[in-house]
Amino acid sequence: MSTFARRAIFYALALAFLLIGSLATLYAMGYRLSWEGVPSPAKVGGLYVRSYPTDVNIELNGKKIKNKSGLFSEGTFVSGLYPQPYHLSLSAPLYRAWRRDIVVKPSLVTEIKYALLIPETAQEVYSENAAEFWPIGKDLAVRDAKLGLQFASTTLPGKSILGWSEDGRIIIFAKDTNYFWFDTRTGTSTALQPLLLKANLTKPKTVSLDSESGQVVVTKENSLALLDVPSQSIQNIATTTKNIEINNVVSSRYWLAWSIYDKTKDYSQLIIYDKLLNNKRVLGEKIEGKIKQINWGTDGLLGVLDGRGEFFTYSPGEDKLTHIASDGRYFRFSPNGTRVAVFENKSLEIFTFREKDEYWRFNLPNPTGIKEAWWHGDLWHLILAYPDKTVLLDLEDKALQNLETLTTTGRASFESETGFLYYNEDGKVYRLDLGEK
């Protein structure tokens, strides 16, 4: 073989080595050859999809993708995707199709971790004459227009449910000016009038239930007390003068909180009561006008919304409120208290108390028309009730592609522990299973 031929072979092999080595290096670094437009190397990304139910058909730009969720994986990972827009579709028998436009970015995994498919049909759970209803755990209380207040095949001597304990054992209900404490385990009801009379709490302004202890929380304009029905005991918590009004009483495991409103000076203050130490603290900060709403998120975090729409949080032991948002109408904490949705006149804002960089703002259609809202147990969906419909909001759906209408009525209620949405249409109550948390 001539010297020229040997050199040609050597240079050809060296060039092939460099070319193949470069391609292998680029491949290992995540580059693939893109045939979109002019062929060129492009760094690929990936997609992770997790859904409820898990057994769904996955399509990406119309191409079927094998579902890899199962015993050892909660979702499906798709690798080697060119950085570009895609249309993702999930489907399953007896469920509505789920669709989303996504963008895969170079070297990143686009995550869809909470795709919630909606059942096509709901189950009828109460057949007729339902005027009102209350989901209590896995059971349902209904005010039947003919039969009265029904709960678990029992007729209760009342007209409306005022509250129930977390475990569903204790329910308090009312009939006109009479109040009752009902033990679902024994099936017995106890009239509260003797205790109210003994505590000088007849004709109370509000009667509610401490959902953890089962104690009854009773307020009049100038007094607040706790009633323990089994022991027939009364604990007077607070009294005020005639110009100081007690409002917004809320209870948690260790704390009571309420606001007082000075009618003559038109300002409110917040009061925190420690159940273990039996002492209370008046927060020195004064808020103009009446406080509209307060509620506990976690046991150590209180949400406060004043009459101007300013939303604050407060932790017992702190000296002042922390301002979070403005223009609020009402707010709802997530079940675990780590997120709060503030419903405003023009938008919905969602804040988190664990991941400081997590924040959402949605410009929803007709925001002032949302009359009630509930968090789904997965913390990534909100159920919103308008007067004429109830819809599902997905926090991952920033473009509002999947603002799904769940039912064409706003007479609805959601139970986050079971994932059941109940709604009333023409006197019938239906249940839609939106999946466990």
**pLDDT tens track for 270-317:** 999 998 898 999 999 999 999 999 999 987 899 999 999 999 999 988
Q: pLDDT tier at 436 (50, 70, 90 boundaries)? A: low
CA distance readout (Å), 94 to 153, 200, 206, 421, 432: 31, 57, 44, 17, 12
Domain containing 77 — which CATH number?
2.60.40.10
Beta bridge mates, 418: none
Establish if 380 belongs to a structural domain. yes
Tokens matching residue 226: 């706790």
* H helices present in 269-343, as ranges: none
Sign of CA dihedral 120, 92, 75, 364: negative
Pair 272, 368 in one domain: yes
Task: Name the DSSP class of 422.
Answer: E
Q: Are residues 93 and 29 in the same domain?
A: no
> pLDDT for 218-232, tens place per residue?
999 999 999 999 999
Please tell me whether residues 420 and 350 are part of one structural domain.
yes
- Which residue range(s) make up the domain with 105? 44-116
pLDDT-derived band at 419, boundaries 50, 70, 90: very high
pLDDT tens digits, one per residue of 390-408? 999 999 998 898 899 999 9
pLDDT digits (tens, 9 = 90+) for 330-385: 999 999 999 999 999 999 999 998 777 789 999 999 999 999 999 999 999 999 99
**Pairing label, strands 267-274, 279-282:** antiparallel
- The b-or-e profile of 9-27 (16+ CB within 10 A means b, else e) is eeeeeeeeeeeeeeeeeee
Is the domain of 174 the same as that of 273? yes
Backbone angles phi, psi at 65, to 5 degrees: -115, 135
Predicted confidence (pLDDT) at residue 33 exceeds the cutoff of 50: no
Q: How many domains does the chain have?
A: 3
Whether residue 32 is predicted with pLDDT greater than 50 in this model: the reply is no
The predicted structure's pLDDT at residue 13 = 58
Within a domain: 282: yes
Scored b (16 or more CB within 10 A) or e, 45-71 reads: bbbebbbbeeebebbbeeeebebebee
10 and 83 assigned to the same domain: no
Mean of pLDDT values over 196-204:
89
Pairwise CA distance, residues 269 & 258, whole Å: 9
Of the candidates 173, 127, 52, 112, the one whose C-alpha atom is nearest the C-alpha of residue 395 is: 112
Boundary residue ending a domain (116, 137, 153): 116
Cβ pair 337, 323 in contact under 8 A: no
Q: How confident is the model at residue 166 (pLDDT cuts 50, 70, 90)?
A: confident
Q: What is the three-class DSSP state of 426?
A: coil
User: What does pTM read for this prediction?
Assistant: 0.87
More confident position, 107 or 404: 404
Q: Is the pLDDT of residue 25 over 50?
A: no
Q: How far apart are CA 33 and CA 15, in angstroms?
A: 20
Half-sphere exposure of 418 (CA within 13 A, CB side): 18
Q: Quote the pLDDT of residue 135.
A: 94
- 216: pLDDT strictly greater than 70: yes
Percent of the chain exceeding pLDDT 70 equals: 89
Question: Does 138 lie in the same domain as 275?
Answer: yes
What mean pLDDT is predicted for residues 187-203?
A: 90
Assigned domain for 86 exists: yes
In a domain, 98, yes or no: yes
| Domain boundary pick from 116, 149, 177 | 116
- pLDDT surpassing 70 at residue 70: yes
Residues 382 and 362 in one domain: yes
Q: For CA atoms 165, 378, 309, 303, give the dihedral sign.
A: positive
pLDDT given at position 213:
83
Q: Are residues 281 and 250 in the same domain?
A: yes
39 pLDDT higher than 80: no
Q: Are 65 and 159 in a shared domain?
A: no
pLDDT of residue 252: 87
63 part of a folded domain: yes
Domain identity same for 98 and 139 = no
User: What pLDDT score was predicted for residue 133?
Assistant: 96
Average pLDDT, the chain: 89
pLDDT of residue 153: 83
**Domain-ending residue, one of 69, 96, 116:** 116
Give yes or no for a contact between 374 and 435, defined as CB atoms under 8 angstroms apart.
Answer: no
User: What integer pLDDT is reported at residue 319 of this predicted model?
Assistant: 84
The 8 Å CB, 24+ separation contacts for 425-428 are: 427/128, 427/129, 427/130, 427/131, 427/145, 428/124, 428/126, 428/127, 428/128, 428/130
Return the minimum-mean-pLDDT range out of 64-68, 200-204, 344-348: 200-204
What is the predicted pLDDT for the residue at 71? 72
pLDDT attached to residue 341:
98
Q: Which residues neighbour 106 within 8 Å (Cβ) at sequence distance 6 or greater?
A: 30, 42, 43, 44, 45, 83
More confident residue, 22 or 326: 326
Binning pLDDT at 50, 70 and 90, where does residue 38 land?
A: very low
Average pLDDT over residues 10-35: 50
Inside any domain, residue 28: yes
Average of per-residue pLDDT across 98-106: 93
Give the tokens for residue 73: 């994986």
pLDDT grade for 23, boundaries at 50, 70 and 90: very low
Is residue 346 domain-shared with residue 369, that is, in the same domain? yes
Strand partners, 281: 272
176 pLDDT tier (thresholds 50, 70, 90)? confident
Are residues 71 and 18 located together in one domain of the fold?
no
Task: Report how far residue 378's alpha carbon sits from residue 309's, in angstroms, rounded to the nearest whole number.
Answer: 28
Asked if residue 240 is part of any domain, the answer here is: yes
Q: Is residue 39 part of a domain?
A: no
